[in-house]
Amino acid sequence: MGSMAMPAYALPKSHQDLMEKSLVETDSEVAEIMKREIQRQRESIVLIASENFTSRAVFDALGSPMSNKYSEGYPGARYYGGNQHIDTIELTCQARALKAFSLDSEQWGVNVQISAVSTYFETFPYRVNLETGIIDYDQLEQNALMYRPKCLVAGTSAYCRLIDYARMRKIADLVGAYLIVDMAHISGLIAAGVIPSPFEHADVVTTTTHKSLRGPRGAMIFFRKGVRSTDAKTGKQLMYDLEGPINFSVFPGHQGGPHNHTITALAVALKQATTPEFKQYQQQVIDNAKALEHELKRLGHKLVADGTDSHMVLLDLRNKSLDGARVEAVLEQVNIACNKNSIPGDKSALTPCGIRIGAPAMTTRGFGVKDFERVAYYIDQCISLCKQVQGSLPKEANKLKDFKAKVADDSVPEILSLRKEIAEWAGSFPLPV
């Protein structure tokens, strides 16, 4: 064919611009919305226990060409070609996940592709002691013996104390159940070794990756491998058979192609989770949550389970004759983000009497113990404001929608003052963007 001519771009220059120009240049509307959201994050105190700020390195991986590749299947068994580097990053992510939690690859495996959930199971809840706020393990054991579940699930999305995994294992064994631990909220604390790990006792461990682990929005399922039990009479070994069913359930059971940019970003976050700096951060999360506990108690507030051993506290508002939705609304108006939450003894999940307050996000931004003591002061002020506003509304206009409208109409000077003060204070701390 002779010498090759210089390649010619077959589409117009405007198309090339469409592909190569920045977001600001091509979509100012979306860019402006993102700008406002970044400003909101910068000027807010984020206390939502399930939120965090991820690192710039994780952002770099999320916004990368790894997003371009379609890769249904698993490493070495894909439905499409061209996946050699995708295979490498997924295997790297798996290896880093096992390393982050000090797991032996002969005894544990992990699926890092999860991006969706589904529920098909009949469930039966277990309770905490209404006086102590601690899991009632004796009642749990009785219920397990009565209902003979196939799985016993331990989780901490609204539980601030440590779970007795050994006791849960014993109860599961009484009925031949698998012990599944959802460590979504506390996986970062576990990886850092600042609270006990469930892996010694669990059969399956699940976690999201964007909470205390400080990664992208994704999830992982860890599963046992090898010998599950040995028959005392015959000596015959019963082997775990979890890897195949779990992987098949993820793909093709519930998902199609994995989000390769997310897996890449997760690999970055998992490497960060093995650093001394990450362990120091997680210890500071614990210290900050304890500071919240002590200061809120000093200010006369009641906490579920009388405090915390982890990353958050659960505030019981019943002794203030308030509900979580109203307190959440006032806090939001002064640039403090938290969430209403059910507490033991609530009559309805629709009108919970608690708020959940987490330390991970603002610890990432550099808050220390003294800062969280100041946060407790702001929360106390907002609870007082909540009672003040509630008392000022007429009986015929005293529903939640009326309350929210009142606190949002800029007519309460204390709210305006606190909003300005908090925006300036929060804005003085770095935001990794």
Per residue in 157-177, pLDDT (tens digit) is 889 999 999 999 999 999 999
324 vs 121 pLDDT, higher one: 324
Cite the residue boundaries of each domain of the chain with CATH code 3.90.1150.10. 276-425
pLDDT of residue 395: 87
Residue among 42, 69, 72, 346 flagged as catalytic: 72
Q: Say which residues have a Cβ less than 8 Å from residue 93's Cβ, sequence separation at least 6.
A: 112, 263, 264, 266, 267, 270
**201 forms bridges with which residues in the sheet?**
none
pLDDT of residue 55: 97
217 vs 256 pLDDT, higher one: 217
pLDDT in tens, 221-277: 999 999 888 888 898 999 899 989 988 888 887 788 889 999 999 999 999 999 999
Q: Which residue has the tokens 């909101």?
A: 40
Give yes or no: 214 in active site: no
- Check pLDDT > 80 for residue 1: no
Residue pair 76/87 in contact (Cβ under 8 Å)? The answer is: yes
pLDDT in tens, 393-432: 998 888 999 999 999 999 999 999 999 999 999 999 999 9
- Check pLDDT > 70 for residue 210: yes
Band (pLDDT 50/70/90 cuts) for residue 381 is very high
Residue among 69, 70, 99, 374 flagged as catalytic: 70
Give yes or no: 79 in active site: no
Give yes or no: 365 in active site: no
pLDDT in tens, 141-160: 999 999 999 999 998 888 99
Residue among 182, 293, 295, 332 flagged as catalytic: 182
1 vs 170 pLDDT, higher one: 170
Choose among 297, 323, 348, 309: nearest CA to 404. Answer: 323
Band (pLDDT 50/70/90 cuts) for residue 117 is low
- The SS3 assignment for 128 reads strand
pLDDT of residue 281: 99
d(CA 325, CA 33): 26
Q: What angle do CA 430, 431, 433 make, to 5 degrees?
A: 135
Residue pair 382/374 in contact (Cβ under 8 Å)? The answer is: no
- Check pLDDT > 80 for residue 116: no
pLDDT of residue 248: 87
- Check pLDDT > 80 for residue 359: yes
117 vs 283 pLDDT, higher one: 283
- The SS3 assignment for 304 reads helix
Q: Which fold has domain 67-272?
A: Aspartate Aminotransferase; domain 2 (3.40.640)
Name the percent of the chain lying above pLDDT 90.
Answer: 83
- Check pLDDT > 80 for residue 5: no
d(CA 133, CA 314): 10
pLDDT of residue 151: 94
Residue among 208, 209, 363, 364 flagged as catalytic: 208
- Check pLDDT > 70 for residue 122: no
Give yes or no: 182 in active site: yes
Residue among 96, 211, 290, 365 flagged as catalytic: 211
- Check pLDDT > 60 for residue 304: yes
pLDDT of residue 7: 78
pLDDT of residue 120: 59
Residue pair 281/189 in contact (Cβ under 8 Å)? The answer is: no
**356 forms bridges with which residues in the sheet?**
314, 339
pLDDT of residue 34: 97
pLDDT of residue 121: 63
> For the whole model, what pTM was predicted?
0.94
- Check pLDDT > 60 for residue 285: yes
| Six token digits for residue 224 | 């046992």
Strands (E), 54-121: 73-74, 77-78, 108-111
d(CA 278, CA 141): 37
pLDDT of residue 119: 56
Indicate the range of 67-81, 88-102, 258-272, 275-289 predicted with least confidence: 67-81
Cite the residue boundaries of each domain of the chain with CATH code 3.40.640.10. 67-272
- Check pLDDT > 70 for residue 32: yes
Residue among 69, 217, 387, 404 flagged as catalytic: 217
d(CA 172, CA 226): 19
pLDDT of residue 433: 85
Band (pLDDT 50/70/90 cuts) for residue 118 is low
| Six token digits for residue 404 | 């929210």
pLDDT of residue 398: 87
Second CATH level (architecture) for the domain 276-425 = Alpha-Beta Complex (3.90)
d(CA 99, CA 417): 48
